[in-house]
Amino acid sequence: MSRIDRDPAARSRLIGALATLVILWPLFQAAEVKPGVLFDPGNLKVIGNFLAGFLPPETGAEFMGYLAKATLETLAIATAGMALAFLIAVPMGYLATGAGREKATLNPITRSLLTILRGIPELVWALVFVRVFGLGPAAGVLALGLTYGGMLAKVYAEILESVDAAPARALRHNGAGRPLAILYGLIPQASKELASYTVYRWECAIRASVVMGFVGAGGLGQLMDQAMKMLNGGEAATILLAFMVLVFAADGFSGWLRRALDTPPANRASPFGWRSGGLGLVLVVSIVASFSYLEIGLKSLLTVEAAHSIGEFVAGFFPPDLSAEWLAKVGKGIWETLAISVVGTLLAAVAGLLLALPKWRAPFSFLLNTLRSVPELVWATITALAVGLGPFAGALALALHTTGVLGRLYAEALDNAPPAPGQALHLVGAPGGFAFLYGTLPGAAPQLIAYTLYRWEMNIRMAAILGFVGAGGLGQLLYFELSLFHHAQASTVIIAMLLLSIAVDQASARLRRWMA
Amino acid sequence: MSFALNGVGLTHANGFTALREITLKAEKGERIALIGPSGAGKTSLLSVLGTALAPTVGTAEVLDFGQNFRLTVELAKLRARIGTVHQAPPIPGRQRVVTAVLAGKLGQWPAWKSLASLLYPLDVVGARAALERVDLADKLFARCDQLSGGQLQRVGIARVLYQQPELILADEPVSALDPTLALATIRLLIAEAEARGATLVASLHAVDLAIGNFSRIVGVKAGRIAFDLPASEITVPLLHDLYASEGDELPVQAHEPHFLSQAAANEAATRAACC
């Protein structure tokens, strides 16, 4: 082969592949990945017994009443939290994004504020707010609003940056201001993705509000916690079912909304028809109803006593314990958490892509939805039974839930990828798989990579709290120290979580740039 | 015989009838230009020839392959022998030019080769040769989103050259190129077809390009064949009749006043070369 006919990219590809292996190997070691344990007969028996306890699901009238009330509360927490998050996200996203600027500069102050909001997991926020405002939904709504506000703002900013910038640039050159250039040049391209991500986040909020019940913030989670503590498998099964119904309904709603965005506008001046009008009305009504149902008065948050207890509580966390001995322990926790997140995300990316392939979509979309509708924390209680306590259980739990999430996002990205290249390859006789690999996948790749890396950023936060149920990592440390009221030590762990999530954000952004 | 359409009609799922009673035959090595106003059915006709759409009425035979293009191994084999230049180049922006060109042979390569080629392009020499013919050899390892629209269109053409099909279909292959490049590209396609004895069917927006370069002109109007004549027999009134729905001006590439006589001259030159 002559010199000019050698692929100039081959060397860097080879080095990249080797480097990936060198980095991943110790992480898999740290996550204690032992697939054999999954099929250990003893473990299989334990998990079998546990699942058998789920049948029959509890259907007593009294319990169903509790269930209905808790479901409403969960919905209300999620909706109110999302409303708060949206209020935070729109201005912050606008400030943070480089989209629509003449020079693509990013706003470092907003970005770091967003990182802090997102970097501390909602469950940790909720734990803190429960201490300050007492048990109840207010803590959940605030925790959701802050974390999800940070997440939404970041994703909005990135979606706006990822669409074709030329239309906005042209508008700016014609003298339009930045907000108008974004509205007229970028939103039309990004609206589908923005809306579908927002609705998807609302589903996540429902899941998150369930999990927050575990720390006393109300809703289905509190009910689940009680059921689990009393080892009432029947009740747990019913709660899980209710939960899945909620998520499926949200999924249907999201699909309907995306289809609605696809319909061409009616032939009249106003682009808004009865559907958009009705939707807006429902949205406003449900947000108002959520806040009044939860009886969240802002007044109670603004009293002198509240301010005092906040101050006292926060002061307890300072100064953080920075002794060498404790730092070494936290360091080990960080490494384990990182390993859990990487292994979990990778396993999920592979499984999710397989399940998202157009060919297999139909039979597996139910599976994806089921995987997705069960929160990581609940999966972790189950995987811990299957493979024993420790980081592998955490990685598996992450992988199970993330497979559902990524599978669905991948499916959407593949649907939205330009179909022409794949079709053209079908027309030259390429087998379906290769038409996909050569034609469709490259078109969807930026989206797939962005979703995976973004999910990894989420999973690092999740990996940090999976330890609450004994699945290793920083969470185990935090839970331990908080229950012993060792606030200085807990503070170190929270700071470590924040730093870890910032580091992962940076790494992820760098990887995205490198792969783009 | 290269293809034979017999009384072909095509009604889309939404009820729109794109083609009616199309009967069209071509021998191996013929070079046919499809002209007609937009929406006349040129793309649908090419889709039937490319087996992308099966006719709803009538029979279609392409490269001795019977009608009813059902997805079978045989159809995949047939498709490997048909190359299509698309109106908009169907190439993912993130793909490298070399991979995009090599993808032309996915229908011919064994699976292991197609897979391995994703990791390392397995026929760099072949891809380079195809790209040289469209003057893009220097972009071999560039990514497609770094190319201009015209360059990308030529990558699409290079893919078809690399595929070496027996039937080349081109759907407005040069509408994105400037006049000089358009002419050169049409000539390249014709030379390629000539060199390998392949049949070429191209739909063209510019009447002068069609008449100046193709020996056989098929006019399509409202889903039917309006005329099917040698280029030398095309008259201006005939063209005005074909494009009646688009006003008085005929769509041409370059406003050269006597393109018809130029076509006649070409025809003479071709005949002289033949004998």
pLDDT band per the 50, 70, 90 thresholds, residue A310 = confident
Which tokens go with A439?
């034609």
Give the lowest-confidence range in A52-66, A248-262, B215-229. Answer: A248-262
Tell me the mean pLDDT in the region A417-441: 87
Q: A99 and A146 in one domain? A: yes
> A443 vs B92: CB contact, 8 Å cut-off?
yes
Token code pair at residue A137: 């939904």
- Upstream peptide bond of A391 is cis (omega within 30 degrees of 0): no
- Is A147 inside a domain boundary? yes
Q: What is the pLDDT of residues A45-58, one digit of tens each?
A: 777 777 777 778 87
Instruction: Tell me whether residues A435 and B106 touch, CB distance under 8 A.
Output: yes
Q: N- to C-terminal Cα distance for chain B?
A: 23
For A168, A177, A461, B62, the CA distances from A184, given in Å and listed in that order, are 7, 11, 35, 47
- Distance between CA atoms of A495 and B104, rounded to whole angstroms? 54
Instruction: Answer yes or no: do A428 and B141 touch at CB < 8 A.
Output: no
What's the whole-number mean pLDDT along residues B262-269?
A: 45
B242 vs B235: CA distance, rounded Å: 11
- Report the pLDDT value the prediction gives residue B70, as an integer from 0 to 100: 60
Range of the structural domain that residue A418 is part of: 24-53+319-516
| CA of B244 vs chain A CAs: smallest distance (Å) | 29
CA-nearest of B42, B35, B36, B44 to B16 is B44
Query: How many whole angstroms separate alpha carbon B269 and alpha carbon A296?
Result: 89
CB contact under 8 A, B107 and A430: yes
Distance from CA of B141 to the nearest CA of A (A): 7
CATH architecture assigned to B3-81+166-274: 3-Layer(aba) Sandwich (3.40)
Asked if A227 and A125 sit in the same domain, the reply is: yes
CA distances from A290 to A86, A154, A286 (A): 15, 25, 6
Mutation for B interface: A427, A449, A515, most B CBs within 10 A: A427
How is residue A368 written in tokens? 């994806």
- pLDDT at B184 > cutoff 80: yes
Same domain, A141 and A239: yes
pLDDT at A484 over 60: yes
* Chain B residues within an 8 Å CB radius of A423: 52, 90
* Tokens encoding B59: 């029979």
pLDDT at B260 over 60: no
Nearest CA in chain B to A422: B90
Task: Dump pLDDT digits (tens) for A224-267.
Answer: 777 777 767 788 888 888 888 887 787 777 777 767 766 666 66
Residues of B with Cβ-Cβ distance to A436 under 8 angstroms: none
Statement to judge: residues A296 and A362 lie in one domain? no
Reported confidence tier of residue B228, pLDDT bands at 50, 70, 90: very high
Over chain A, what is the mean pLDDT? Answer: 83
Q: Look up tokens 């289905």; give the residue.
A: A220
Q: Give exposure, A435-466, as e/b (b: 16+ Cβ within 10 Å).
A: bbbbbbbbbbbbbbbbbbbbbbbbbbbbbbbb
For residue B51, what pLDDT is reported?
A: 86
**Do A278 and A337 belong together in one domain?**
no
Residue A117 has a pLDDT of: 84
* A73 and A101 inside one domain: yes
Lowest mean pLDDT across A191-195, A256-260, B59-63, B138-142: A256-260
The closest CB to that of B79, out of A421, A427, A445, belongs to: A427
Strand, coil or helix: what is A358?
helix
Instruction: Please state, in angstroms and rounded to a whole number, the distance separating the CA atoms of residues B164 and B158.
Output: 10
Q: How many Å lie between the alpha carbon of B248 and the closest alpha carbon of chain A?
A: 31
Whether residues A428 and B103 touch (CB distance < 8 A) is answered with: yes
Q: Over the range A88-113, which residues count as b (16 or more CB within 10 Å of their CB) and which as e?
A: bbeebbbbbbebbbeeeeebeebbeb
Least confident window among A26-40, A252-266, A464-478, B159-173: A252-266
pLDDT-derived band at B274 (thresholds 50, 70, 90) equals: very low
Weakest mean pLDDT among A29-38, A80-89, A145-154: A29-38
Compute the half-sphere exposure of residue A74: CA atoms within 13 Å on the CB side of its CA.
Answer: 31
Q: Residue A106: what pLDDT?
A: 67
Give residue ranges of B with CB < 8 Å to any A CB: 50-52, 75-84, 86, 88, 90-96, 98-99, 103-108, 111, 114-115, 118-121, 124-125, 128, 141, 163, 165
Judge if A307 and A325 occupy the same domain: no
CB distance from A421 to chain B under 8 Å? yes
Boundaries of every domain in chain B: 3-81+166-274, 91-164
Structure tokens, B113: 């080769």
Chain A to chain B, count of Cβ pairs less than 8 Å apart? Answer: 101
Closest-CA distance, B175 to chain A, in angstroms, reads: 18
Interface contact B52-A423, CB threshold 8 A: yes
Does one domain contain both A428 and A303? no
Is pLDDT of A301 > 70?
Answer: no
Together in a domain, A280 and A429: no
The residues with which B59 forms a beta bridge, in sequence order, are B6
- CB nearest to B92's CB, from A426, A431, A439: A439
What single DSSP character describes residue A99?
T
**How far is it, in rounded angstroms, from Cα B152 to Cα B149?**
5
The whole-angstrom distance between B100's CA and the closest CA on chain A is: 8
Chain B residues touching residue A430 (CB < 8 angstroms) = 76, 103, 106-107, 114
Residue A230's Cβ-count burial label (10 Å; 0-12, 13-18, 19+) is exposed
Q: What letter does residue A285 receive in the DSSP assignment?
A: H
CA distance A119 to A437: 36
B30 pLDDT exceeds 90?
A: yes
pLDDT computed for residue B257 by the predictor: 43
CA proximity to A482, closest of A349, A364, A328, A317:
A317
Give the tokens for residue B144.
């497609």
Assign A84 a pLDDT band (cuts: 50, 70, 90).
very high
Q: Any idea which residue has 């916690």 for tokens?
A: A225
Tell me if residue B228 falls in helix, strand or coil. Answer: strand
Run of H or E residues at A212: helix A187-212
Confidence of residue A370 (pLDDT cuts 50, 70, 90): confident
In a domain, residue A372? The reply is yes
How far does the CA of residue A290 sit from the closest CA of chain B (Å)? 44
For residue A348, what is the domain's CATH number? Answer: 1.10.3720.10
- 3-state DSSP helix/strand/coil percent for chain B, to nearest 5? 45, 20, 35
Q: How far apart are CA A363 and CA A360, in angstroms?
A: 6
Answer yes or no: is pLDDT of A2 > 70.
no
**Among the partner residues A6, A10, A424, nearest to B90 by beta-carbon distance:** A424
- Whether A247 and A330 map to the same domain: the answer is no
Token pair for A408: 């669905």
Q: Which two tokens stand for residue B107?
A: 């229908």
Does B163 have pLDDT greater than 50? yes
Amino acid identity of residue B30, one-letter, is E
Note whether A219 and A135 are within 8 A (CB): no
Instruction: State which residue of chain A sits closest to B90, comparing Cα positions.
Output: A421
User: Which two tokens mark A500?
Assistant: 């870890």
Neighbours of B203 (CB within 10 A): 25
B267 pLDDT tier (thresholds 50, 70, 90): very low
Average pLDDT along chain B: 85
List CB contacts (< 8 A) between B79 and chain A: 426-429
Burial status of residue B117 (CB atoms within 10 A of its CB: 0-12, 13-18, 19 or more): buried
Least confident of B58-62, B161-165, B253-257: B253-257
- Number of folded domains that form chain A: 2
| Interchain proximity A428–B99, CB inside 8 Å | no
In a domain, A236, yes or no: yes
Give me the pLDDT at residue A32, please. 84
How far apart are alpha carbons A452 and B140 in whole angstroms? 30
Higher pLDDT, A168 or A273: A168
Does the pLDDT at position B247 exceed 60? yes
Task: Clarify whether residues A181 and A240 are in a common domain.
Answer: yes
d(CA A17, CA A25): 12
Highest averaged pLDDT of the listed ranges A97-106, A352-361, B17-26: B17-26
High-pLDDT (> 70) share of chain A, %? 93
Q: Is B79 within 8 Å of A446 when comparing Cβ atoms?
A: no
pLDDT tens per residue, range A130-173: 777 777 788 888 889 998 999 899 889 888 888 888 888 888 88
Residue A8 CB coordination number (10 Å): 9
Amino acid A264 reads P
Binary contact (A421, B90; C-beta < 8 A): yes
Segment 362-401 of chain A within 8 Å of chain B by CB: none
A379 and A260 part of one domain: no
Residue B68 Cα distances to A52, B74, B169, angstroms? 53, 12, 19
- What percent of chain A has a predicted confidence (pLDDT) above 90? 12
Per cent of chain B over pLDDT 70 is: 89
At A494, list the tokens: 């929270």
Q: State pLDDT tens for residues B102-111.
A: 999 988 898 8
Interface with chain A: mutation pick from B84, B106, B119, highest number of A CBs within 10 Å: B106
